[in-house]
Each structure stands twice: as C-alpha cells, then as structure tokens.
Amino acid sequence: MNDSVVIPVGAGGDGDLQAAYTATLVDEWIRGGLRHAVVCPGSRSAPMARALADRNEVVVHVRLDERSAGFSALGVGLATGVPAVILTTSGTAAAEVHAAVVEADLAGVPLLVVTADRPPELRGVGAPQTIDQHSIYGSSTRWFCDPGVPDGQNASTWRSLAARAFAETTSAPGGPGPVHLNLPFREPLLGDPSRVGGITDGRADQAPWYQVVAPPSDVPEEVLARWTQAWGGGSTRGLLLAGDGCGNPEDVLALGSALGWPVLADPRSGLRSDAPGVVSCADSLLRSAGFAAGHRPDVIVRLGAPWASKVVMGFVTSAIGHGAFGVVADPHGRWGDPQRSNETWVRADPGVLARRLSAMVAGTGEATGSPSRWEESWLEAETLARVALARELDGPASLIDEPTLARRLFQGLPAGATLVVSSSMPIRDVESFSGVRRGALRVLANRGANGIDGVVSTALGVSWTTEAETVVLVGDLAFLHDTTALLRSPGDDPRLTVVVADNGGGGIFSFLPPAEALESTSFEHLFGTPQAVDVSEVGRAFGWSTSEVVDWDGEIPPGSILRVRLPDRRRNVERHQELHGAVIEALAEGSG
C-alpha cells in the first residue's frame, strides 16, 4: 500500500500520465472482479481502451454501436452479478448508453459505464464531439463521478476512485445498479505509463482498495415469531409468490412445505420444476372466475420480482383488497408495488426470510409435513391445467404457434442452459404455457423497464459468460430493433442462438383495446407495424446462419438464427383464448 505517491506534473507529458492513471483504474477493477469490458471505438477513449486491452484478465469485446454495447455489458452483469465495463468516447456515444443504464437501474443489474470526455477547456466552446456529459443519466445511476483530467498531484486517489466505482455497482444502498465515471482526457491521448512510474501501488494482498461489508439481511425475531404463530399449522390459506431473486429454490419449497402453502413460481424464479408444491399455471387457473373466487388467500408473501401476468397480479391486489395480508421481501427496500396494495415490506433477502421462517415453523412443531387441504386444492387444479395444456400443446402440429414455441424451447433446452426471453409476448407465453421441467434452466429477461430494446444484445452478453447453451426468444420487431447486435468482427464466433417468433408485427397490441377500437388499417399502421424487411435476409446479411421453419421440435447450432413463421396475430389471440378456455373447462369438469 502506498497512499502518498506524487507524480510530478508534466513528467513525460499528459499521455504518459493518463496511461498510468487508466492502467491503475483497470488494475483496481480487476482486483474487484472485472472480467469483461465492452469497448466502442473512439479517439478520446483511447487511454482507457488501451489499458483494458493490455490486461489478459479482461476479455475485451469490441462493439460498434454504443446502444447495443450497453445492453451487452448489461447481459454480463445480469448473468453473473459482476459488472462489466462499457467504454465509450465522448459526445452522443455517451447518450446512446442511456437505455441500458435505465434498465440496469430498474432491474438492479451491476454496470460500470465509463465515458471519455473532452477536458474542461474544450467544453461549451463548440469543440467537436462535445456535449454536456455531467450526470447525463440523471437519477438512474447509483453513483456518478467526474474526477477531472488526471493530475500527478492526486495519484494517491486513483485506486480509491476505481474501487468505489466498482463497489457501488453491487453494494450501493439502493442495491446493485449502474455507476457512471466521466473521464476527461487531454491530448496526447496515448503514452507509456512506465515513464511516470507505472501503476500506483495497491493493497499488498491483491485485495481491492475497499472491502464493502453489507449489513445483515435479516428479520427481527419477534416479527418472525408473530408470523409463525399466526400462519403455522396449515390452517392459514397462504400463497408464496416466487419470482426472479426469490433465493435458493430449495429454501422457498421448504417454506411452502412447512406452511402447507402452494408456490406460484414464475419462470425466472428457478422453481419451474416438477417438485411438489409448485404451481406453474396460475395465469390460466385464475382466469376461471369460480376458481379465483374460491381460492382467495389470507396471506400472500412475495419473494422476488412480481409475475408479468396482469391476471396473477390483479388477483393478488384483489385478495389484499378483500383483507389478505400482503408481504413483500426485498433486500434493498425497493418500492416495487405499482398496485399500492401490500401491507408489509421486509428489507431482507427473500432467501434468508424463507430459511428463517422455515426453521421457526419447524421449531414450533407446526410444520405440516404434508400438503394442507388448501394446498391440495391448488395442486389438484394445477394437475388439471397441466394435462389440459399438454393435450393442446404437446401433440403433433403442422403449424407451430407462439405458445407452442415458448413451451418447446423451455422444455427442450438442455439442463444448465440459459433462455433469455424478450418482453412483450415471449415472456408472457413462457410464463403462461411453459409448464415445468426436469433439469435446471436459467431464464433471464430485461424486466426493469420492460422494453423490447437491446434484447439480442443482452443475450449476447449473457453468452459471453458461459460455455453452456444460450438461446434468446425474441419477436420480429424486437429483433429488428436490435440488429446491430448481429455485427461480428472477423473471427468472432458467437455462441448465441437467436429464435425469432415472427408474427409480422407487434403481437401484444392485438390483446389490447386499440385492436377493438380501431379499424384494421389504422390499427396495423399505428400498432401492428409489420415491417417490409425480411428477418432471414437481415440475419444472412450480417453473416449468421439462418433457418426458416413453420414447425420446429429440434435444435440448431449456436451462432444461428431460427426464424419461426407464425400464424397471424388475430389467430394468435384466438389461440390464447382457446388454451385458457381449455384450462377453465378442465377445472369445471374436475369440480363436477
């Protein structure tokens, strides 16, 4: 450790000093865990680009489009929980990353945004490629810093700056998210760090400059005791709503078993298995007015993110409105309650809460050990729904549709694979119709801002972090929205499989009021928005192997695009109605 380094001002010129500065920042980030950097070409960012490329510990991915690059870096953080660096030059390049920063903020994904900038004397005087980059991302960042042009007098602060920036992406009070460093550089931009003493000293044990210790994520004993007494014994009609970030699936299942409550598991929870107690068909089940009315709970505990389904979340809101006790567990106290209905917020890790409650229920001797009649009624309905959906979706089909495609991908991918799912219809189809499977499948989605932008880029970033198969399910509009993700450098061999559900436009709008309120031509022009460009031709133009199918139950190699031609969007609405209707009918027959 050396906290008193002073590098003489002007020694070797600014280029050498800036080279030592950027090399020090990168070295400190590597100590913190940095393994991936996404670099967009540019002149002003040259000092940092070179510093990143000089380190074998960091895989540098060069992307031409800053917007796509931002989402690719986001994908790394989404998959690993460790931030990637996204580096841009100055000017509008910095603005292009804003959408990814917004998603990282709302989804709680660590991301380190480094924007190069002109020095102060070139700002506000019409210098090219110069805009106001100060706090350009507004309130979406966990931390922002513009430390100014590096100065030999402040070399002792460089590691502190780097360590804090990296730590704030994962350990800020608001939880993981984006951090923005705006780094101005003067010409000459390149130099030799050895001429000014090289990298400044770090901790002797190669540890980061700062070790951030988070406070214990727990729930007061008296609160747990009160809840256990009220809920134990299997007499309470309770539901566990499990979403992304719910914790270890085994802990959630153990809590459900101890309390005698079903677990309504969305695909991102990691709980869509054939384990006892799992309900995967809640979206269809709760469309039955009779079932919903007869299965109103007394308690709803939400562990992790909410479902995308309006039906499921509407049921939760209605139940709380009828007196159910609503609990949400979030380790960072984020206010994720658009319905404004839940009564109690627990600032604790959902997995910790599940483990503590399970242990306390077991300690009181109130654990059920077997399904309660309440849980059995849900699981009987779940069985009927699974059989009805399997009958509709798992048989031979001459023409594949959107629910079938979502189900076959979820069911057919190998254990350990990752499925990245676009917003709009794909996430809803996987949620409603995927069912359960054996063998772990990781399901990821950008559900912070819920946009369709940057989905393929996000999946590309995810694929960089794993040797296992990565597949992205995306609609045709979302695919076309992110075509620069398909750019590949010579020798670049992406391991990503892109499955394009092509229904000729924006399928979700056919489920919404404009589809009924507008005449066909106006609806198609404003909402359906079919595009003239051919999806397969786009893929081939970027050098990807592309296949087209109208029915599919096989596999395609990584680095390929599979375009699945689907029935028209009006027929898709009818198909969803048929599937939900089949479940409702099965429930009616089962209760009769």
pLDDT digits (tens, 9 = 90+) for 354-380: 998 988 888 776 666 667 899 999 999
What does the radius of gyration of the chain's CA atoms come to, in whole angstroms?
26
The CATH class of the 221-373 domain is: alpha beta
As separate numbers, helices (DSSP H) first and strands (DSSP E) second, the chain gives 21, 18
Q: What is the mean predicted confidence (pLDDT) over 253-282? A: 95
Q: Which two tokens stand for residue 455?
A: 């989905």
Per-range mean pLDDT, top range of 228-232, 338-342, 512-516: 512-516
Residue 519 has pLDDT above 80, yes or no: yes
Q: Considering the entire predicted model, what is its pTM?
A: 0.94
The C-alpha angle with vertex 245 and arms to 242 and 249, in degrees rounded to 5, equals 60
- CATH annotation of 394-591: 3.40.50.970
Mean pLDDT on 245-252: 94
Residue 242 tokens read as 């499990």
pLDDT at 3 over 50: no
Cis amide bond preceding 188, omega within 30: yes
Q: Which fold has domain 14-196?
A: Rossmann fold (3.40.50)
- Terminal CA-CA length for the chain: 76
> Residue 365: what pLDDT?
63
How many CA atoms lie less than 13 Å away from 43 in the CB half-sphere? 8
User: 131-135, 260-264, 294-298, 399-403: lowest mean pLDDT where?
Assistant: 399-403
Confidence band, pLDDT 50/70/90 cuts, at residue 6: low
**What pLDDT, on a 0 to 100 scale, did the predictor assign at position 4?**
46
Q: What is the pLDDT of residue 2?
A: 45
Return the sign of the alpha-carbon dihedral for residues 437, 443, 449, 451.
negative
The one-letter amino acid code at 367 reads A
Mean pLDDT value of segment 193-204 = 90
Residue among 498, 571, 569 at smallest CA distance from 536: 498
Residue percentage of the chain with pLDDT more than 90? 73
pLDDT tens digits, residue range 91-140? 999 999 999 999 999 999 999 999 999 999 888 898 889 999 999 999 99
Specify the 3-state DSSP secondary structure of 140: helix
Percent of the chain with pLDDT over 70: 95
The pLDDT assigned to 1 comes to 40
pLDDT band at residue 502 under the 50/70/90 scheme: very high
The domain ranges of the chain are 14-196, 221-373, 394-591
Same topology between domain 14-196 and domain 221-373: yes
Asked whether the beta carbons of 544 and 486 are under 8 A apart, the reply is: yes
Q: What rounded mean pLDDT belongs to the chain?
A: 91
- Please determine, for residue 149, whether its predicted confidence score (pLDDT) is greater than 60: yes
